[in-house]
Amino acid sequence: MPETIRVLVVDDHALFRRGVVELLREQADFHVVGEAGAALAALELSQRLHPRVVLMDVHLPGAPGYQVVPALKQIPDLRVLMLTVSDRDEDLLAALSAGADGYLLKNAEPEDLCKAIRHVAAGYAALSPEVTSRIIQRARVAPQETRPLLSPREREVLVELARGATTADIARRLIISESTVKTHVRHIMEKLDASNRTEAVARSVALGLLDG
């Protein structure tokens, strides 16, 4: 029996929120602990209900969802997955820089949403394919002068992180051990002064670390 993933659903459109809640309730490994329509309400509920994953829209009444992400990340073992219609670079980078663990567009298929929640709950990044492609493309055309000194292998690992690959995926694709992957990831985060993988991806876009 898989471990139950506690989920808090945050969206100001009640009809959409209700549809997501019903979808998740059909999954045996999800338990919806609550729902909210605003960012500050999400923070209050998270502190009280301790979900594993907060599934949250970017644009919410009162404050953008990403503004409460740093406070949400202070709650032990909590992960944040943004679910939004916005594919704007500004919203994406703001969310990832704030510490969000994933960014999924609302045009995702139901099974892809469920997969992303499980992925994030397991400690990995989850990004929509459209978002991943734009992150990599933007990084390829970013200025070269500001690049930190990453090794070629670290840049290969960084590309895989941007695609949302797991440690096992990266090890298989690059034909190296998982422990070696973890070492490269640690070095990347240290050089970028990032606290997690998704923050490292966001910083890499700003600094132009990926060049194909």
Question: What confidence tens digit (pLDDT) does each residue in 83-103 have?
Answer: 999 988 888 888 888 889 999
Consecutive H or E run containing 85: none
Regarding beta strands 5-10 and 79-84, do their DSSP bridges make them parallel or antiparallel, or are they unpaired? unpaired
Handedness of CA 42, 116, 131, 169 (dihedral sign): positive
Outline which parts of the chain fall under CATH 1.10.10.10: 133-207
Q: 49 vs 195, which has greater pLDDT?
A: 49
Per-residue confidence (pLDDT) for residue 77, from 0 to 100: 93
Question: What is d(CA 104, CA 119) in angstroms, rounded to the nearest whole number?
Answer: 12
Residue 120's pLDDT band, with cuts at 50, 70 and 90, is very high
- Taking CB atoms within 8 Å and a gap of at least 24, the contacts of 181-185 are 181/157, 184/153, 184/154, 184/157, 185/157, 185/161
Residue 99 tokens read as 């510490």
Residue 45 tokens read as 């509920």
Per-residue confidence (pLDDT) for residue 162, from 0 to 100: 81
Percent of the chain predicted with pLDDT > 90? 53
| pLDDT at 65 > cutoff 70 | yes
Residue 144's pLDDT band, with cuts at 50, 70 and 90, is very low
User: For the residues 140-167, what does the mean pLDDT come to?
Assistant: 73
User: For the residues 106-113, what does the mean pLDDT come to?
Assistant: 94
Residue with tokens 């949403």: 113
| pLDDT at 157 > cutoff 70 | yes
Going from the C-alpha of 33 to that of each of 18, 39, 41, 115, 184, the distances in angstroms are 13, 16, 14, 19, 36
Consecutive H or E run containing 162: helix 152-162
Per-residue confidence (pLDDT) for residue 55, from 0 to 100: 98
Question: What is d(CA 127, CA 169) in angstroms, rounded to the nearest whole number?
Answer: 15
Going from the C-alpha of 197 to that of each of 96, 109, 147, 192, the distances in angstroms are 9, 24, 18, 10
| pLDDT at 209 > cutoff 80 | no
Per-residue confidence (pLDDT) for residue 145, from 0 to 100: 46
Per-residue confidence (pLDDT) for residue 89, from 0 to 100: 80
Residues near 157 by beta carbon (within 8 Å), at least 6 away in sequence: 170, 174, 181, 184, 185, 188
Question: What is d(CA 124, CA 58) in angstroms, rounded to the nearest whole number?
Answer: 20
CATH number of 5-127: 3.40.50.2300
Question: What is d(CA 194, CA 204) in angstroms, rounded to the nearest whole number?
Answer: 10
Question: What is d(CA 84, CA 20) in angstroms, rounded to the nearest whole number?
Answer: 12
User: For the residues 175-196, what does the mean pLDDT come to?
Assistant: 88
Handedness of CA 81, 97, 174, 163 (dihedral sign): positive
| pLDDT at 212 > cutoff 60 | no
Outline which parts of the chain fall under CATH 3.40.50.2300: 5-127
CATH number of 133-207: 1.10.10.10
